[in-house]
């Protein structure tokens, strides 16, 4: 019987690809690696608005987690995990394969909120899984190109976080370029202003950009459901109906349901509670990172998943070697860059906002460099 300890990585998110990259460079002794992932390759979300705008091809966004795992000498199971039994140390997959582990780590990301509202799952285009969103872009463009209709093509984006703002502006740029009829974009959010939690300077600037670009801002209104034959009409909590052709759904992250259905400690929203070492609370053998993990002071953004990657890699190695683990401290501020779809971007750092072509060049360079690391 092999004395090798088995490390099972679930999901090929931002933190895990870094674990795989480092494992390939120096594989830990006496350890075997298995990656369980629902789909492959993964798409890097930071460049998705640019893909929507027509600036990138899909292949430029792809990160092949399975290839990284094989390069690290590991095996790959291309199937979603549907339970983690930490007590028994097994991961159960969608087809009921039981995978025993010595150590496991979860980096499965998040899904989107509100899919349970009437008509939303059936009719809206959710931003996650991102593959689904990407698959719908050609249909949207084709619908807007349809010159047989004279009425404007109306697209609503629900959720005015960073992703929603970028998608609204990038869809606008793309559709205006390619459509055979006028294009109207609405951005809808339950909050009164876009970019909740972002620096005030960035929020003000984005408000000005939305106004300048003619994106209709429908703030302070909660969507209660979606209706209409085309699925593009939003029912609002004030009784209003916003009719349109399509709805992109990006109202913020929700926890993958299987986390709460496992024997893992979860917060009120269903995300796995972790401590500073990235170990799941009360469980030495299970780690979690990125959106699926809940740690005070850690927002749900790719940059935090990226920054926790090296610590996760080190801690898995230290755990295998029986050495003390390192703490991860989420940074209090980060460079935030939003693609505006017209060749410019807006950003902020240390509370200062900036905008222009040079900002988009900077974003493009950072994003491309990130993806290149995993090629």
Ligand X SMILES: Cc1cc2nc3c(=O)[nH]c(=O)nc-3n(C[C@H](O)[C@H](O)[C@H](O)COP(=O)(O)OP(=O)(O)OC[C@H]3O[C@@H](n4cnc5c(N)ncnc54)[C@H](O)[C@@H]3O)c2cc1C
Residue numbers at the binding site for ligand X (CB under 6 A): 10-15, 36-39, 42, 45-46, 48-49, 65, 80-81, 107-109, 127-128, 163, 167, 250, 256, 258, 290-292, 300-303, 305
**Closest separation in Å from C-beta 317 to ligand X:** 19
Q: With respect to ligand X, which residue has the nearer C-beta, 190 or 235?
A: 190
User: CA-CA distance, 140 to 153, in Å (whole number)?
Assistant: 10
Which DSSP state fits 305?
H
352's tokens:
């200062």
Residue number, 67 or 152, with CB nearest to ligand X: 67
Q: What is the DSSP letter of 298?
A: -
Query: What's the min distance (Å) between Cβ of 80 and ligand X?
Result: 4
Phi and psi of 50, rounded to 5°? -65, -35
Question: Which residues 6+ apart lie within 8 Å of 114 measured at CB?
Answer: 120, 158, 223, 249, 251, 254
A 10 A CB-CB count for 52 gives 27
Alpha helices in 236-354 (DSSP H): 257-260, 302-320
Q: How far is the CB of 11 from ligand X (least distance, A)?
A: 3
In whole angstroms, the minimum distance from the beta carbon of 302 to ligand X comes to 3
> Measured from the CB atom, is 79 or 207 closer to ligand X?
79
What is the distance in angstroms between the CA of the first residue and the CA of the last residue of the chain?
Answer: 35
Is residue 327 within 8 A of residue 314, CB to CB? The reply is no
Quick one: how far is CA 115 from the chain centroid? 16
DSSP bridge pairs for 93: 81
C-beta closer to ligand X: residue 235 or 295: 295
Q: Which is nearer to ligand X, 36 or 295 (CB)?
A: 36
Q: Which lies closer to ligand X via its Cβ, residue 11 or residue 232? A: 11
Phi, psi of 12 (to 5 degrees): -115, 50
In the complex, what is the shortest distance from the CB of residue 339 to ligand X, in angstroms, rounded to a whole number? 8
Give the whole-angstrom CA distance, residue 312 versus residue 330.
13
Task: Tokens 């500073």: give the residue.
Answer: 276
d(CA 316, CA 308): 12
Considering the complex, state which of residue 74 and residue 163 has its C-beta at the smaller distance from ligand X. 163
């Amino acid at each position: 019987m092999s004395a090798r300890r088995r490390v099972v990585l679930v999901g090929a998110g931002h933190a895990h690809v870094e674990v795989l990259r480092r494992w390939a460079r120096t594989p830990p002794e006496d350890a075997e690696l298995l990656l369980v992932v629902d789909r492959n390759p993964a798409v890097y979300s930071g460049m998705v608005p640019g893909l929507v705008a027509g600036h990138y091809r899909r292949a430029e966004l792809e990160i092949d987690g399975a290839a990284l795992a094989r390069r690290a000498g590991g095996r790959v199971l291309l199937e979603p995990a549907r339970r983690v039994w930490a007590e028994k140390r097994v991961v159960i997959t969608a087809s009921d394969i039981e995978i025993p582990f010595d150590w496991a780590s979860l980096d499965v990301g998040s899904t989107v909120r509100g899919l349970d509202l009437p008509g939303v799952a059936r009719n809206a285009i959710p931003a996650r899984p991102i593959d689904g969103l990407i698959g719908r872009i050609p249909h949207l463009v084709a619908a807007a190109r349809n010159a047989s209709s004279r009425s404007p093509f109306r697209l609503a984006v629900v959720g005015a976080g960073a992703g929603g703002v970028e998608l609204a502006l990038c869809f606008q740029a793309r559709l205006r370029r390619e459509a055979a009829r006028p294009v109207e974009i609405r951005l809808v959010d339950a909050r009164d202003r876009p970019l909740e939690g972002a620096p005030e300077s960035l929020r003000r600037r984005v408000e000005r950009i939305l106004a300048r670009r003619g994106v209709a801002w429908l703030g302070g209104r909660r969507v209660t459901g979606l209706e209409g034959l085309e699925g593009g009409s939003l029912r609002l909590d004030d009784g209003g109906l916003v009719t349109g052709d399509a709805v992109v759904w990006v109202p913020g992250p929700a926890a993958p349901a299987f986390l709460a259905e496992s024997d893992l400690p979860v917060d009120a929203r269903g995300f796995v509670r972790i401590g500073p070492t990235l170990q799941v609370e009360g469980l030495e053998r299970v780690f979690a990172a990125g959106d699926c993990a809940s740690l005070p002071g850690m927002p749900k953004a790719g940059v935090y998943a990226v920054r926790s990657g090296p610590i996760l890699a080190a801690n898995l190695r230290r755990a295998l070697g029986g050495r003390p683990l390192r703490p991860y401290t989420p940074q209090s501020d980060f460079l935030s860059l939003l693609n505006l779809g017209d060749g410019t971007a807006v950003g902020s750092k240390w509370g200062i906002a900036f905008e222009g072509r040079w900002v988009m060049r900077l974003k493009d360079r950072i994003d491309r460099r990130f993806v290149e690391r995993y090629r």
